[in-house]
Amino acid sequence: MAVISGVGVSPGRAVGPVVRMPEPVGEPAPDARLSDGADVAAEGARIADAAEQVRADLERRAATAHGEGSAVLEATALMAADPTLVTAAQRKLDDGIAPARAVWEAAAEVAAMLESLGGYMAERARDVGDVRDRIVAVLDGRPAPGVPERAEPFVLTARDLAPADTATLDPSTCLALVTAEGGPTSHTAILARALGLPAVVAAPGISDVAESTVVLVDGSGGTVETDPSPGDIDAVRAAAARERHFDGTGRTADGTRVQLLANVGDPKGAAAAVGIGAEGVGLFRTEFCFLDRAEEPSVDEQAEQYLAVLEPFKGRKVVVRTLDAGADKPLPFLTDADEANPALGVRGFRTAARHPDVLDHQLEAIARAAERSGAEVWVMAPMISTASEAASFVARAEAHGLSSAGVMVEVPAAALTADAVMEHVAFASIGTNDLTQYTMAADRLLSGVAELNDPWQPAALRLVRLTAQAGARQDRPVGVCGEAAADPALAVVLAGLGVTSLSMTPRAIPDVAEVLLSVSIDECARLAQLAVDAPDARAAREAVRAQLPTP
């Protein structure tokens, strides 16, 4: 038995045999040339036919994919249908370049062009590489890259996964995901959470595990155990077979209330949250109606889109986060694509200094949707660093009739001055993803520092405690809406630190509810102290998990 460590990005445990993703399509030789006398027109037609075959295959798979996966596949199919790549590759044939090499070089040019545009278009550059690989595979007569088909359930391992690969995963046969690369915000992480699959990324040791080896994946602990004992296998399978239900009231064993809310980003996410019985929404990410736009959407359009998310929660709390643009979510009409260090630049609430009208328009749209929906709407601003910024946002929100205004605590400065911040706000919500990133100086997008970017870091937990204590002193609720809330063991710690609500991917709510019900609030506080006193994230996690039941 060996234990491989990585970063857990989607909670849960699963056990099964390893199935490895095929190695990615290799780059054709730079000097690959057409043979003398080759029919350039015919070779050009071959490229077009290959692209059409790829498009048709992607659309076929999109029709059977699950949830967000279907949208990802459809977007990749659209890229395959776009004539830009094919035309650019066909032009290179006139210079004597072989078809596969021509596609490779043309794809590099198209991807560079998209990246230069920034924002949503830059995100599509990864799709170009995916389409390129598939076209090259067809031209070379090789199987298309993608998830292997197996009749029996398996654990999928890979160096990394392309969006279209991740999107085609069938949770009825794929039990868990493990990648050697990637980070907490990779496609693997995002779609694994959406599908409810345990996932571990940034685990380089997985590349040495042979196909068919039985492994136990712990997506909360970030570990992969090879050749687990029969007892461990039986325990994991028994837990997986047991249905869990959330009764709609989050609480500890002694009845201390801890609201269990959902993170949502669009109407589909809202429907999933309602279906699981979430008490409300702790984080409504409003970016979904902005990310593919070159211009700001109108107030009317925003109001309609927000209403579609709010209406299912009539009478329940929905915390709406204003636009979190910047860093990994640039918008052409709002942010500067040339910022040298956007994670530390003009993002979130800071964009309002340059574009106050965008924030005012959004607040107006939220207020309209709130009035029509019947939901209990709270509103909060991201990337708040000072008490004066908090006061400014609250005043702006109240001017639009939004009386329950609060802030995200993602910057260590906001946690360290939480008493001053709380004087101005109705509530605070801690974004553990960014709070950990800034506390540990570890970029969320870099797999090389993924181990540091762990919400179990005692330094980050101490900042959570400072914020919760300030909220308690001024009778202000303090929630957590980062991915940390979805880890049942860490949820117990957060409750013990004084957090009053936890917001997470809807699929995680039943597991979190079950573990919270197994401990009193005093026990939560004791375990929280163990975590805070630990020397590092791994020790904190191990110390707490050793004393909790595994859901």
User: Is pLDDT of 281 > 90?
Assistant: yes
pLDDT in tens, 438-458: 999 998 777 788 889 889 999
Domain-embedded: residue 249? no
- Who's near 60: CB < 8 A, 6+ residues apart? none
pLDDT in tens, 188-235: 777 787 778 899 998 999 999 999 999 999 998 899 999 999 999 999
DSSP lists the bridge partners of residue 20 as 157
pLDDT in tens, 401-438: 999 999 999 999 999 999 999 999 999 999 998 999 99
User: Is pLDDT of 300 > 90?
Assistant: yes
User: Is pLDDT of 120 > 90?
Assistant: no
Closest CA to 450 of 188, 262, 216, 68: 188
Contact 223, 3 (CB under 8 A): yes
Split at pLDDT 50, 70, 90, the class of 66 is low
- Give the active site residue among 174, 187, 361, 524: 187
Domain-embedded: residue 160? yes
Task: Name the residue type at position 393.
Answer: F
Percent of the chain topping pLDDT 90: 64
CATH number at residue 91: 1.10.274.10
Domain-embedded: residue 331? yes
Percent of the chain topping pLDDT 70: 94
Do residues 199 and 216 share a domain? Answer: yes
Listed residues 108, 139, 170: the one ending a domain: 139
Of 19-23, 254-258, 342-346, which range is least confident? 342-346
Pairing, β 317-321 against β 376-381 = parallel
DSSP lists the bridge partners of residue 2 as 226
| Predicted pLDDT at 8 | 87
CATH number at residue 14: 3.50.30.10
* Domain that includes residue 387, residue range: 259-545
User: Is pLDDT of 326 > 90?
Assistant: no
| Predicted pLDDT at 439 | 97
Do residues 194 and 275 share a domain? Answer: no
Domain-embedded: residue 27? no
| Predicted pLDDT at 329 | 63
Do residues 154 and 114 share a domain? Answer: no
Mean pLDDT of the chain: 90
User: Is pLDDT of 280 > 80?
Assistant: yes
Whole-structure pTM value? 0.78
Do residues 131 and 154 share a domain? Answer: no
- Give the active site residue among 174, 289, 481, 524: 481
Closest CA to 382 of 465, 459, 324: 324
Q: Please give the residue that has the higher pLDDT: either 544 or 12.
A: 544
Split at pLDDT 50, 70, 90, the class of 287 is confident
| Predicted pLDDT at 67 | 58
pLDDT in tens, 153-171: 999 999 888 766 766 778 8
What does the alpha-carbon distance between residue 490 and residue 516 come to, in Å, rounded to a whole number? 10
User: Is pLDDT of 181 > 70?
Assistant: yes
Domain-embedded: residue 34? no
The end-to-end CA distance of the chain, in Å, is: 23
Contact 144, 25 (CB under 8 A): no
Do residues 416 and 523 share a domain? Answer: yes
Task: Name the residue type at position 365.
Answer: A
- Who's near 31: CB < 8 A, 6+ residues apart? none
Listed residues 139, 160, 176: the one ending a domain: 139
For Cα atoms 313, 319, 320, give the angle at the middle one, nearest 5 degrees: 105
Pairing, β 13-20 against β 154-158 = parallel
Rounded to an integer, the average pLDDT of 69-81 is: 79
Residue 174 appears among annotated catalytic residues: no
Do residues 124 and 155 share a domain? Answer: no
What does the alpha-carbon distance between residue 219 and residue 226 come to, in Å, rounded to a whole number? 14
- Who's near 399: CB < 8 A, 6+ residues apart? 363
| Predicted pLDDT at 342 | 75
Rounded to an integer, the average pLDDT of 268-280 is: 93
| Predicted pLDDT at 471 | 98
Listed residues 99, 122, 139: the one ending a domain: 139
Do residues 358 and 224 share a domain? Answer: no
Split at pLDDT 50, 70, 90, the class of 337 is low
Contact 127, 163 (CB under 8 A): yes
Do residues 383 and 311 share a domain? Answer: yes
Task: Name the residue type at position 545.
Answer: R
Find the length of the chain.
551
| Predicted pLDDT at 162 | 73
Do residues 338 and 406 share a domain? Answer: yes
Domain-embedded: residue 250? no
| Predicted pLDDT at 550 | 66
> What is the number of domains present in the chain?
3
Q: What's phi and psi for 284, nearest 5 deg?
A: -105, 105
| Predicted pLDDT at 194 | 73
| Predicted pLDDT at 334 | 75
Domain-embedded: residue 210? yes
Residue 66 appears among annotated catalytic residues: no
Task: Name the residue type at position 32.
Answer: A
Domain-embedded: residue 26? no
